[in-house]
Amino acid sequence: MTFDELDARAATLDAAHAATDLRERFLLPPGTVYLDGNSLGALPRSVPAAVRDAVEQQWGHDLVASWNTHGWWDAPVRVGDAIGRLVGAAPGQVVVGDSTSVRLHQSLHAAAALRPGRSVVLTEPGSFPTDQYVIAGVADQVGWRVEHATPAELAARLTPDVAVVVLSHVDYRTGELLDLPGITAAAHDAGALVLWDLCHSAGAVPVGLDEHHVDLAVGCGYKYLNGGPGAPAYGYVAARHQDAFVNVVPGWHGHAQPFAMADDYVGAPGISRARIGTPPMLSLLALEAALQAFDGVEIGDVRARSLSLTRFLRDAIADVVPGSAFASPEADERRGSQVALRHPDAYGIVQALAARGVVGDFRTPDVVRLGVAAPYLTHTDLVTAVRALHEVLERGEHRDPAWTTRNAVT
């Protein structure tokens, strides 16, 4: 296909998907095609005024009364419910605060308490490093053995000693989307719990936590949920597990009567039991405002748009850069919301693209990650990106010696 033909095809697809074009709800710099919303989501238009109000009115004027008058105290559960809508969790099962690493640590300890006498945590090789480190850390603390299995090997490895299966719903590097319903059911048949990491799926892919009887889940607020740098993470505890949920960090915000200032810990009922300490309120309120970008939108419609975009991007790259090696799956039902390419000069490609206003990212050792946040991208944006990729490769810009030293954040 020529670029003129790609432009025409993109215009047709953009018209067909006009109803889910939410670009107006975001503030993006002109001239940039932002393909890194799976690392740091773009800024929703609703956020700056909300943050200004939180700082100037709530903190600056109303001061400590804001814990009551501006709903600060209830915010972790209120914002949790808003995220719950996007991941298929009925209210009262998601709590916001702390980082994904902390939420994962907490959820794994809770899983150990829910499955006493079982000695294995089963996970996949090559998952996001913090997940691997935290799993190993908790395994040491509770006396579990860590076992690794690829998704294809999982079923055969679900022996009666497995306490919990921990997986990323969408792989951060390849964008592979796992069969959450099937794996969850198989784990349950073996008596194990399932803990899903939703960092690369929440806000992009339907998850269906309640529908598929997931036990526990965690995820971060700053990727497809657009909560901003350092946005707090969230944890999901299915209602049926909440009474037996043991909070490894039994901080005072999770106490049944926090202002009784009692000497002994008594966990609150419901999801509040998973609260820890004072949340980062400004970030939490920014995240709450950011979630307004999804108001009136069903995640299934976001997914339909995302699939059209990633399919178009993949086909266009295959067309324009023959011989491209894709790390992301070809089948729609196996692909999350990104297109990942393998190339020996992946780092240089990402830098040269960024110099042309096309922002993706690099993941070691050889992956160019092009994240497709459907709400604020169009097919036409993707032609711009593919055109840039074509020119970078044609002119050898990816081999510029300037790219031989890597930034701290890639």
Residue 369 Cβ vs ligand PLP, minimum distance, rounded to whole Å? 11
Distances (CA, A) of 186 to 102, 200, 211, 311: 27, 22, 15, 30
- Specify the residue, 10 or 180, whose C-beta has the smaller distance to ligand PLP: 180
Q: Does 198 bind ligand PLP (CB under 6 A)?
A: no
Residue 249 Cβ vs ligand PLP, minimum distance, rounded to whole Å? 15
365 is in an annotated binding site: no
- Specify the residue, 197 or 288, whose C-beta has the smaller distance to ligand PLP: 197
Q: What sign has the CA pseudo-torsion 384, 389, 395, 401?
A: positive
Quick one: DSSP state of residue 161? T
Known catalytic residue at 275: no
Count of residues in contact with ligand PLP, rule CB under 6 A:
13
Closest alpha carbon to 99 in 290, 279, 362, 247: 279
Known catalytic residue at 223: yes
Identify residues 202-261 at the interface with ligand PLP (CB under 6 A). Answer: 220, 233
129 is in an annotated binding site: yes
Q: Which of 130, 292, 324, 380 binds ligand PLP (CB under 6 A)?
A: 130
Element (H, E) at 367: strand 367-371
138-177 footprint of ligand PLP as x/- string (CB under 6 A): ------------------------------x---x-----
Quick one: DSSP state of residue 255? B
Known catalytic residue at 222: yes
User: Are 23 and 297 a contacting pair, CB within 8 Å?
Assistant: no
- Specify the residue, 200 or 398, whose C-beta has the smaller distance to ligand PLP: 200
Contacts of 302 (CB under 8 A, 6+ apart): 20, 203, 204, 294, 374, 375
CA distance 196 to 107: 10
Q: Tell me the one-letter amino acid at 25.
A: R
174 is in an annotated binding site: no
Strands (E) in 169-227, as ranges, are 193-197, 216-219
Known catalytic residue at 369: yes
Q: Which of 200, 356, 369, 379 binds ligand PLP (CB under 6 A)?
A: 200
Known catalytic residue at 362: no
Could you list the active site residues? 128, 197, 222-223, 369
List residues near ligand PLP by CB under 6 A.
99-101, 128, 130-131, 168, 172, 197, 199-200, 220, 233
